[in-house]
Amino acid sequence: MNAPQQGPSRIGIVGLGWIAQVFHLPILSKLPDIEIVAVCDRDKNRARAIAEKYGIARYYTDYQEMLAKEDLHAVDICTSTDAHTEIAIAALDAKRDVFVEKPIARTFAEAQRIEEAVRRNKRKLMVGMNHRFRPDAMMLRSFIENSEIGRIFYVKAGWLKKPSSDSSWMLQGKLSGGGAFLDLGIVMLDLCLWMTGYPDVARVSSMNYAHKTKVEDSSVVYLTMKNGATITIEVSWNFHIENELYYCNIYGEQGSGKINPLKIHKEMHGNVVNVTPVKTDISAGALKKSYENELKHFIGALRGIHPVISTAHEAVQRMKIVDAIYRSAAKGKEINFK
């Protein structure tokens, strides 16, 4: 792999929509040892305005021009999903490390092409799975890793949102690659797999529902793992509920854990005991904190302090499952993994 860096990490950001403006730019601009040397967006006025706001020296409308002209250590890709593959491969081939927002790509095949470019160029790539970096999720995972709740046999996760009038690129299948599952479901799938140590999938069964959109606005997924465990995931952009619901509940043979808020219970001497750490105000501001922790991790990986977590290889395995989920929904039948 590439040698540890000297001096500040020089970053170029491609795609200046809400995820870049709400999270990436405010966080990266405050981190020490970071220099955002350039930004790029197809909208020239937006690129100029953001460069001025953050005191960034140069802005571009063409990422190829930015790659050719700028001395960058890494490229941060915050574009719509349809552009991820092309930009990631170009950056990797230009010998830059890459951070790419989730999902890595629209399809399993596109994800494979990106992973091949990572291997070919011996570069680092991290996929933005920020929910792993929520303080409550990290705390629960440490309990699971230490076998505090025993062997996991059932995981139930969901992210249900109220109807919104969002008519962005995410509702256009050609750009997004899918609907609510590729937006919300992939986050919950990743959280379930990461929490439970990546058990292999045996079978996938799913149902997608498109009520008001061409892509699915709701999805229900049932995964049977080769170790006998079961994972169920429900996601929606269009649930008629009072408040948004976000949860990941994990059940083991000796206890259980959940996030948002964090609660951990385990069997001790024949009783169920609440063993949740005392300071559990870690769900407040968890989303912003997750992006801060994630981007700090990427910069640490760039600087050779630790390896990347949420790698291209993991993303390819995840997209293989996503591909099976969409096939199951389309065919109306269970998909078996070899």
Q: What is the reported pLDDT for 166? A: 58
Query: Can you read off the two tokens belonging to residue 51?
Result: 């460069």
What is the distance between the alpha carbons of residues 129 and 109, in angstroms, rounded to a whole number? 20
Residue from 96, 97, 93, 84 nearest 116 by CA = 93
- Percentage above 70 pLDDT, the chain: 93
For residue 30, the model assigns a pLDDT of 96
Name the nearest CA neighbour of 305 among 61, 28, 4, 1.
4
Q: Mean pLDDT over all residues of the chain?
A: 93
d(CA 36, CA 73): 10
Contacts of 165 (CB under 8 A, 6+ apart): none
Query: What are the structural domains, with CATH classification, of the chain?
Result: 9-131+292-311 (3.40.50.720), 132-283+319-336 (3.30.360.10)
Q: Give the residue among 4, 139, 137, 28 at the shortest CA–CA distance from 78.
A: 28
Read off φ and ψ for residue 207, nearest 5 degrees. -130, 130
- Angstrom distance (rounded) from CA 53 to CA 47: 10
Residues 149-168, mean pLDDT to the nearest whole number: 86
Largest CA distance in the chain: 66
Identify the CA nearest to 228 among candidates 286, 152, 303, 290: 152
Residue 280: both structure tokens together: 């559990």
pLDDT tens-digit readout, 282-307: 666 888 999 999 999 999 999 999 99
Percent of the chain with pLDDT over 90: 83
177 closest CA partner among 109, 106, 79: 106
Lowest mean pLDDT among 20-29, 198-207, 233-242, 252-261: 233-242
Distance of CA 223 to the CA centre of its chain: 19
Dihedral (CA of 116, 122, 127, 133) sign:
positive
Quick one: which of 31, 55, 50 has its CA closest to 40?
A: 50
Per-residue pLDDT, averaged over 210-236, amounts to 94
Which pTM value belongs to this model? Answer: 0.93
Mean pLDDT across 5-26: 93
Helix (H) or strand (E) holding 154: strand 152-160
Q: Cis link prior to 8 (omega < 30° from 0)?
A: no
Q: How far apart are CA 187 and CA 291, in angstroms?
A: 13
Question: What gap in Å lies between CA 27 and CA 20, rounded to an integer?
Answer: 10
Distance of CA 164 to the CA centre of its chain: 22
Contact 8, 35 (CB under 8 A): yes
pLDDT of the residue at 164: 67
